[in-house]
């Protein structure tokens, strides 16, 4: 049996992103993105899953690195298959739901993020980062009872 691998580049392998949907006072936290990936769109805190890292730890780590806040009650929420045709990127995004625990929000990566704001789920800002657009197509609601 022959196994064929894509010989063009490791860039053609989908990457795993983890996004934290953080809830506080009936709202979710979003940032206005500045970097080249999703520039000008609104997204949740998050980033790449590291080798041997749990999903919970990734959500906690990325949120702390980007905002300085702490999370509690971190759990799996949903996932999306996100193909960024204009940039040739492909991600599987794993959404983790979490509750705000403590800390004051700071913009820790100003080169990647303009600002952080809390929004009601039914009043999300536009434009949204592609993974969130795809999440909304699934009718996901972080406030719905399981």
pLDDT in tens, 39-85: 999 999 999 999 999 999 999 999 999 999 999 999 999 999 999 99
Does the structure show a pLDDT above 70 at 5? no
Burial per residue of 77-94, b for 16 or more beta-carbon CB atoms within 10 angstroms, e otherwise: bbbbebeeeeeebebebb
Please choose, from the candidates 62, 72, 71, 74, the residue with its C-alpha nearest in 3D space to the C-alpha of residue 108.
62
Q: Measured at the alpha carbon of residue 49, what is the angle toward residues 59 and 106, in degrees to the nearest 5?
A: 40
Gap between the Cα atoms of 65 and 63, Å rounded: 5
Whole-model pTM over 0.85: yes
* Residue at token pair 């434009």: 127
Q: Give the residues across from 30 on adjacent strands.
A: 117
State residue 36's pLDDT score: 73
Helix (H) or strand (E) holding 134: helix 130-137
* Residue at token pair 């980033």: 47
* Residue at token pair 């860039």: 11
Residue-wise pLDDT for 95-144, tens only, equals 999 999 999 999 999 999 999 999 999 999 999 999 999 999 999 999 99
Q: What is the CB neighbour count within 10 angstroms for residue 128?
A: 18
């Amino acid at each position: 049996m022959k196994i064929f691998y894509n010989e063009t580049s490791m860039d053609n392998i989908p990457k795993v992103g983890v996004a934290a949907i953080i809830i506080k006072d009936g709202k979710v936290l979003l940032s206005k993105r500045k970097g080249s990936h999703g520039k000008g769109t609104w997204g949740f805190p998050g980033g790449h899953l590291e080798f041997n890292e749990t999903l919970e730890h990734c959500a906690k780590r990325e949120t702390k690195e980007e905002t300085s806040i702490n999370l509690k009650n971190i759990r799996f929420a949903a996932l999306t298959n996100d193909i960024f045709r204009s940039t040739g990127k492909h991600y599987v995004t794993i959404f983790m739901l979490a509750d705000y625990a403590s800390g004051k929000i700071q913009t820790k990566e100003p080169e990647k993020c303009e600002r952080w704001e809390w929004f009601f789920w039914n009043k999300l800002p536009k434009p949204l980062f592609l993974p969130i657009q795809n999440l909304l197509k699934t009718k996901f609601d972080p406030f719905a009872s399981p």
